[in-house]
Structure 1
């Protein structure tokens, strides 16, 4: 991939992050300070539990080292803006979801490169592959900061100083974010189509299982610490719906020859949309059924 193409891809990714920040305000960050329990549980699950468990499972379960490295990278990425929409549709705590996305994106400037390099080196299978690639942690940190930190800072500035512009343009950038994700996925699959077809069963099985693990980690962490239903749903979706666009951007920049990594991140980009929507529809159905049961129960008591 040419230097110009990489520049364009990273610029588009930066624009996507700018759009995410337009929906954030200082109140979103103050909310985490005033009510830290839920967000801290979610962030710990996202940046500590998920990468660590992913590393352990890719160590124990036999799989190609490229596939393992792709799963580790995706697990180190923050949640994306799609989690906010799914949380809203799921009757979850949307305000907390938005706050977590903002904070997670800022933390990812450091934690995504740090976690990825740490767990890639700890896993003996991926360690050998990393030694052949010779990726610089500093270079990765710089790229992630450029496509995350600067656009987020610019978006936050606009959201707080030009709120009218932010409100009017935020829907446009939300659509651009979704199109960008599909564009990254299409590029990755088109470039590696034969490899994807040849090992589709392995790739899809790895992605579906890993996404289920991420969702369970989010839900289990929130449930274990006694958070309410709305908070559990927000954390489940925030941990389970990763910013795979960022993962693809990193892969295109540093791992262009590792086709299986690109396929894993691209498949994640498709599957987490399906699983997120499916989970949201399931929760909506359960809420409607619960409401009907309560209505019938109240009616029965009244008639009695």
Structure 2
């Protein structure tokens, strides 16, 4: 029986073979998610950003600076393999996704703050994510060596992210602006429909690679659980540190703790298919991320929301 250390030493050479149809389906679902996020954007949300720029700014710094830095330290502390480190860094360098808005709503959180932060992080990610992945992986020796071996073209990643995020997001904003009535009706179906499709696609993909994920789940489980817990704690701590009201703290928690793992899976398959650890981390992170978000939002939903005692900072 293969031991866990043998699995760990082999995961960098693992090749994940996923059909082109699956990858296309994932991209379509991500586009639907981003389109749905844009349909939710209102002028009130933009005004929210102007009224509370400090909260939005600190949230973005925590997303793209604090969390990647803590992730690098975690990869070094756990001494994970290079491909696992790349996967962990890739996940936290991706923006927040539509699930953070859904969990915030379920938790009776500040949905306006959630949507504003999701919007801002996706806009920033168009440029920051490729740069951040290259920078932070360079601080982990084993990850940096693998990155040199795969010779990723950063401009190609920029183009991929621009198409996956920029195009559907811009389309959603235009539809919401020009056809608000249609956007209001479509939003009811786009978000849950995209979520159902994503779950079906992920389940189908896992079924096809079930043995692979079973073999390597033990190698990445501790890293994923700790990274997800740290992400949620950083989000909660950021909200509390800004002295935000309880609903806004809940929103900040999910914005930093729930990543767009669909995007990270697509990027992993597109650029790191020969580094199987990256794909395994991204896929299993998404499942664990969704599970913890669902549990936390359900728990918060059952707890009363006290009246705010302190005005939000910013």
CA distance in 1, matches of 2:116, 2:225: 27
Instruction: Give the conservation status (yes or no) of the 8 Å contact 1:16–1:173.
Output: yes
1:248-282 Cα offsets, whole Å, 9 max, x none, are: 11112111222222121111211112111211222
Structure-1 separation of matches of 2:93 and 2:201: 18
> Where in structure 1 are there 5+ consecutive unaligned residues?
292-304
Provide the rounded CA distance (Å) in 1 between the counterparts of 2:216 and 2:295. 25
Query: 1:256-275 to 2 correspondence within 5 Å?
Result: 256-275=273-292
Conserved in 2, the CA contact under 8 Å of 1:181 and 1:269?
no
1:203 to 196, 209, 220: 220
| Number of residue pairs aligned between Structure 1 and Structure 2 | 290
**What residue is the counterpart of 1:254 in the other structure?**
271
Give 2:91's match in structure 1, choosing from 44, 59, 74.
Answer: 74
**How many angstroms does 1:29 deviate by?**
1.9
Of 150, 162, 170, the residue aligned with 1:153 is 170
Contact 1:192 1:263 in 2 (8 A): no
Q: TM-score scaled by structure 1?
A: 0.88
CA RMSD of aligned residues (A): 2.0
**Residue pair 1:83, 1:237 contacting (<8 A) in 2 also:** yes
How far, CA to CA, are the matches of 2:205 and 2:275 in structure 1?
A: 11
The separation in 2 between residues aligned to 1:181 and 1:208, in whole angstroms, is 22
Correspondence 1:107 to 2:151: no
Task: Name 2:254's counterpart in structure 1.
Answer: 237
Cα distance between partner residues in 2 of 1:200 and 1:15: 29
Q: Choose 1 or 2 for highest CA Rg.
A: 1
Q: Which residue matches 2:183?
A: 166
Query: Aligned partners of 2:39, 2:78: CA distance in 1, in Å?
Result: 41
In structure 2, the CA distance between the partners of 1:4 and 1:87, relative to structure 1 (3 Å rule), is closer
- Match 1:223 to one of 236, 240, 245: 240
Superposed CA deviations along residues 50-73 of structure 1, whole A, max 9, x for unmatched, are 111111211232112111111110
CA–CA distance in structure 1, aligned partners of residues 220 and 161 of structure 2? 26
Higher mean C-alpha displacement, 138-147 vs 54-63: 54-63
Q: Does 1:86 align with 2:103?
A: yes
Deviates more, 1:256-265 or 1:238-247: 256-265
- CA separation in 1, counterparts of 2:268 and 2:137? 14
State yes or no: 1:26 paired with 2:43.
Answer: yes
Note the C-alpha offset of 1:95.
0.9
Partner of 2:32: 15
Mapped to 1, the partners of 2:202 and 2:24 lie a distance apart of 17
Q: Which has the higher helix share?
A: 1
1:296 match? none
2:112 maps to which of 91, 95, 104: 95
In structure 2, runs of 5+ residues without a counterpart are 1-17, 308-314
TM-score (norm 2): 0.86
Query: 1:137 & 1:57 partners in 2: Cα distance?
Result: 25
Q: Which residue does the alignment assign to 2:79?
A: 62
Q: Distance in 2 between matches of 1:187 and 1:279?
A: 26
How far apart in 2 are the matches of 1:86 and 1:56?
A: 28
- Cα distance, 1:2 vs structure 2: 6.0
**Higher mean C-alpha displacement, 133-142 vs 18-27:** 18-27
Name 2:10's counterpart in structure 1. Answer: none
Seen in structure 2, the aligned counterparts of structure 1 residues 19 and 193 have a Cα distance that, compared at 3 Å, is: same
Q: Is the 8 A contact 1:78 1:243 kept in 2?
A: yes
The answer for the alignment partner of 2:310 in structure 1 is none
Q: Give the corresponding residue for 2:198.
A: 181
Following superposition, the deviation at residue 119 of structure 1 comes to 0.8
Tell me: CA distance 1:285–1:12, structure 2 relative to 1, closer, same or farther (3 Å). closer
| 1:188–1:263 contact (8 Å) kept in structure 2 | no
Alpha-carbon distance in 1 for matches of 2:259, 2:21: 27
